[in-house]
Structure 1
Amino acid sequence: MVRWEPGAPQRLQRAALELFTERGFEQTTAAEIAQSVGLTERTFFRHFSDKREVLFYGQERLVRTFVEGVESAPPGASPMEMVTAALRSGAGFFTDEHRPHSRTRQSVIDENPALQERELHKLATLGVTLATALQARGVDRATAEVAAQTGMTVFGIAFARWIREGETRSIADIETDVLRELRSLVAPAA
């Protein structure tokens, strides 16, 4: 019997990603993931409802960091300034040490339509939560929705650039560039 070790969710997450990469998502079972780190299938299901969720572990923390960014924006900040604060806060979630994991995780997601759908759902939930946080700061609903969805678009583009092979800039720097591109697009229309 294996002696209890802390960090089971993280160990299961690393093992799952490795097995998904080697064998494919569909060909890997929860039992195999658990066994690869000396745990039981029952332990796996104590931490994750299914094998998809192992790829989305930590989502609540990411959502929380975005909301904290909105809440920490200075009084009188515009909706886009609050969204920018949320993006800055969320950028701390994506460190250089985390980039290889994110690249591998995304490659697994890109190969499976059900995982792609789950990833889109995650981003949609993040957008709704961001809009709710903006409304709590006094932004009207329509403006909050537009600002939040704009923020999610900026985040999505920045994330895709951040995980590209050879990319070395921080996600915060990339988000700044994407926001600059956005401003140049809308400036003539204003």
Structure 2
Amino acid sequence: MARWEPGARERMVLAAVDLFTEQGYDATTVAEIAERAGVTKSTFHRHFPDKRDVLVAGQQSLSALLTEGVAEAPEGATPLEAVAAALRKVSGEMTSFNRELGPRLKAAVAASAELQERDALKSVGLAVALTEALEARGVPQVTARLAGELGVLAFHHGWSQWSGSDGRTDLATYALGALEELKAAATAL
């Protein structure tokens, strides 16, 4: 097995997501994921503690990017302007690999209650990261939490549109558009 080839982590994520969709999450083993990705089981375990963690691959990086984006927002930015800065920061790091993974990941999650739970926990973690970053800017807790939740909703909506697109429009356009829609919807409440 060519475990030294570049892109092992990406190959493992794709292999896992495809196998989860093809044969179900419960029926998929780490050995099958490793084999399809062209790596050893020990290589798999160097990247992921278990197969559940494939779904949250990159969550720490995503949370860090959101936090950095909020921190880098101009002084005096409103909470939603800071969230928009975070969405731009994250969007700038997404590649065609991320876009192409979207529909596959969505199908795998839809087919497994355990993966749906894991995906929900990932969303909670992202909202917490945004909320804490906003609170660090002095935004009151309730406002920070609401803005953080709106940011995660906008990211997910934008991601869904972007991953189903031809890639000519960037993720930031979709995510920021979704944030504006959510802002308008909240105002209408």
TM bin, normalised by shorter chain, reads 0.7 to 0.9
Distance in 2 (CA, whole Å) between partners of 1:119 and 1:105 is 10
What's 2:85 paired with? Answer: 85
| 1:144–1:5 distance in 2 versus 1, CA, 3 Å | same
What's 1:159 paired with? Answer: 159
For residues 51-70 of structure 1, the aligned pairs below 5 Å read: 51-70=51-70
For residues 31-180 of structure 1, the aligned pairs below 5 Å read: 31-164=31-164, 169-180=169-180
| Higher-RCO chain (CA-CA 8 Å, sequence separation at least 6) | 2
Paired letter, 1:41: K
Q: Is the 8 A contact 1:96 1:170 kept in 2?
A: no
TM-score normalised over the length of structure 1: 0.86
Q: Is the 8 A contact 1:127 1:152 kept in 2?
A: yes
Deviation, structure 1 residue 127: 0.5
Paired letter, 1:49: P
Percent of matched pairs sharing the same residue: 41
State yes or no: 1:185 paired with 2:185: yes
Paired letter, 1:55: L
Distance in 2 (CA, whole Å) between partners of 1:127 and 1:184 is 20
**Could you say which structure has the larger radius of gyration?**
1
TM-score normalised over the length of structure 2: 0.87
Paired letter, 1:79: P
Deviation, structure 1 residue 121: 0.4
Q: Is the 8 A contact 1:62 1:93 kept in 2?
A: no
Q: CA RMSD in A?
A: 2.3
Aligned residues: 189
Deviation, structure 1 residue 188: 5.6
| 1:78–1:12 distance in 2 versus 1, CA, 3 Å | same
**Which range moved further: 119-128 or 171-180?**
171-180
Deviation, structure 1 residue 77: 1.0
What's 2:23 paired with? Answer: 23
